[in-house]
Structure 1
Amino acid sequence: MGSTMRALVWKELNRVEQESYWPTPDLKNQEIRVKIKAAGICITDIHMITGKLDFAKPPWILGHEMSGIIEQIGKDVTGWEVGERVIIDPVVSCGSCRYCLIGRKNMCAQGGELGTTYGSGGYGELVTVKPSNLYRLPDELSFAEGAMMEPLNCTLGAIDRVRNMVGSHVAVFGAGPAGLLFIQLAKAYGALTVTLIDIRDEPLALGLQLGADYVVNSSRTALIDYFAGKEIDVVVEASGSVQAVKACMEVVAPSGTVVLYGLNGSDQPSIPSDHIVAKDLTIVTCTSAPLLWDKGIRLVQGGKVNVKAIVTRQINFESAETVINELVEGKNSSTKTVMIYS
């Protein structure tokens, strides 16, 4: 019998189970084995468990937001040492195809994302990756902050593609982790004002603390009336709501930009193409930004983005099965939950 590890295993629809003796991923000569210290619980994980997103089939080890400590190094690897604190880029690729060579390895047909489409992720205690998938975690940042670098990388990739951010008025739909990152990134990229929209007061209050200039509870305020006469240059959809996508197209000013980020898994048409053409809108998306990891780390180090405040709950491995299954059932929600391995 080979080596084993602790893991939270997605074994059946709507449920994960704790395992103490799950097989450890193999370590090849060109790879590094990382002992996971923190793993973020992403809404994508929850949507996979419930069957809303068909990225993989159980049994599966989820978790694409990860940080940890190097435990073992393959014999052909140089430049890294056992014990180093690292952030894991979960996107695996061949390194030589057209997309890899133009810096878009997330589109590599031979690759995928650890924990989502490709192989064992951070819900397991150990992960093996190529050295090119690792970034050093600065000493002043916690492992929980390290796990937040993956969602920061994706949102940063979207904002980095917006050409008219400087001096713009921005609206962000959704005060979840992505929306809270978007408001900070918009300000870091030169936005004049940012308005945050959600149906929950608590995350809206957190949004104000993190730099939003205005917040709107759309369950109590008609958005069309609220934004009447306001020139909103950039609108970000980070809620995963079909209705919010339509609202973005209505709220944004002519010649503006709409960032589509949230996934809803509903398979419902939500893009009014005539509206886009008539208003001459620019549409921006992003699922990964392979070339921007270092920039994201520097933004957090420099105090431009606060990821620590977004982590509103930290749980240990022993309690994670209960907590994640409750999240699947829609109970005990928090802005962001991160699992910490002891």
Structure 2
Amino acid sequence: MGKTMLEVQEKEREHHIPQTMSAGFLDRVLEVGIRQIPVPQVSGTEVLVKVMAVGVCGSDVHYYAHGKIGNRMVQYPHIQGHECAGIVVSVGERVKRFRVGDRVAIEPGTTCMSCRWCKEGRYNLCPEVQFLSTPPVKGAFVQYLKHREDFLFPLPDSLSFEQATLAEPLSVGIHAVRRGRIKPGDTVAVFGMGPVGLLTVMAAKAFGATTIIASDVEPLRLAAATKMGATHVVDITKQSVDDVIAGVTGGEGVDAILETSGNEKALQSAVPLIKRGGALVVIGFPAAEEVPLNITLMLQKEIDMYAVYRYTNTYPQAIALLAEGAFPTSELLTDFYSLDQLQQAMEQARTNKSGSLKVIVYPNPSSNDQP
């Protein structure tokens, strides 16, 4: 690293690492409390990050509102948050890639890197994954977070901490586009314009899709989709997405549909809208574990179906895309709260889908780095 341990310790003192820190706890459904807990100690390849910004994810809202996702149950009290970025304030003795003071994005899922799935490069399927905020693993609504160095990524100075939190949902979009084999010249449709859907539009555009049809029910989200690269937007309360796709493709169907909402009817309606030999990419989790699909039609059209679970090896590309500045991603950041206001932040994300896109929480008072 080029610095002696004495120099590192001196640099750490400059950051005034306290003994305790504030953390946001989900104490029960719809109830959040702020309490003091010890600041973690790091060793080996661990890095202590002063968390500067955390994005509120749809999964955070679901756990907050319902206490579970599928068979994953919250074990109260729980700490949520996984879309995060910050500043390195302490490093373990075997850390080689980072120094105190470095700005980093945090990939939230650390894996064993030795099982068959990790060795195949599909570490998102690692049975031993420790994913921030997924019960029982505690998350990033804390002032200081301990994380393994191989799941940290440097940030260019041009990228704000708030924008850097988008590397996580953008990674989902990149992984989905890779899985669906989107290529230059493709015509695709993206269903659901939450943050993941919007960033999937961005990823499809970055991968060369020339026609991108985005659908949702909220005008704010459809307007944002246009800014992220959608060529056509469909308010499904006023217009038929079937008619739009038929018109755009001459009745042939799109090369791929990327479904981010988890809406059962959206999934079922997608199959007839995909061209022969096209792809259905499923990103959003449906409320029901089993969703009937027209398998006969999928067979007749030889439609490929891809399931998307998180992502692998996407963070460098996500950070690079965000840093390029080709997409106005700062416009996706609509609401800003301190950690002490975490209850309000969660309520805003839960109840204001017509007026909010991405809610940002600042764990540290000095984190007001709004774009």
Q: TM-score, normalised by structure 2?
A: 0.85
Shift of 1:238: 1.2
Which residue of structure 2 aligns with residue 35 of structure 1?
50
1:246 aligns with 2:268: yes
CA RMSD of aligned residues (A): 2.1
Which residue of structure 2 aligns with residue 237 of structure 1?
259
Shift of 1:45: 0.8
Which residue of structure 2 aligns with residue 199 of structure 1?
217
SS at match of 2:185: coil
1:99 aligns with 2:114: no
Count of aligned positions: 340
Aligned residues: percent identity?
Answer: 29
The gaps in structure 1 that reach 5 residues or longer are: none
Which residue of structure 2 aligns with residue 139 of structure 1?
157
Amino acid in the other structure paired with 1:45:
D
Structure 2: how far apart are the matches of 1:223 and 1:112?
39
8 Å Cα contact 1:15-1:325 kept in structure 2: no
- Candidates 123, 139, 148, aligned match of 1:130: 148
8 Å Cα contact 1:188-1:304 kept in structure 2: no
SS at match of 1:83: coil
Shift of 1:26: 4.6
Shift of 1:182: 1.5
Shift of 1:276: 2.2
1:15 aligns with 2:35: no
Instruction: Give the stretch that moved more between structures: 112-121 or 129-138.
Output: 112-121
Structure 2: how far apart are the matches of 1:250 and 1:33?
50
Structure 2: how far apart are the matches of 1:4 and 1:273?
55
SS at match of 1:233: strand
Question: Per the alignment, do residues 279 and 239 of structure 1 end up closer, same or farther by CA in structure 2, a change over 3 Å counting?
Answer: same
8 Å Cα contact 2:32-2:342 kept in structure 1: no
After superposition, residues 289-308 of structure 1 pair within 5 angstroms as 289-308=311-330
Shift of 1:33: 0.9
The gaps in structure 2 that reach 5 residues or longer are: 1-17, 366-371
Which residue of structure 2 aligns with residue 261 of structure 1?
283
Amino acid in the other structure paired with 1:65:
E
Shift of 1:252: 1.4
SS at match of 1:46: helix
Shift of 1:230: 5.0
Structure 1: how far apart are the matches of 2:354 and 2:22?
24
SS at match of 1:290: coil
Amino acid in the other structure paired with 1:89:
E
Structure 1 residue runs of 4 or more that deviate by more than 3 Å after TM superposition: 23-26, 303-306, 325-333
Shift of 1:221: 1.5
After superposition, residues 259-338 of structure 1 pair within 5 angstroms as 259-328=281-350, 334-338=356-360
Which residue of structure 2 aligns with residue 213 of structure 1?
231
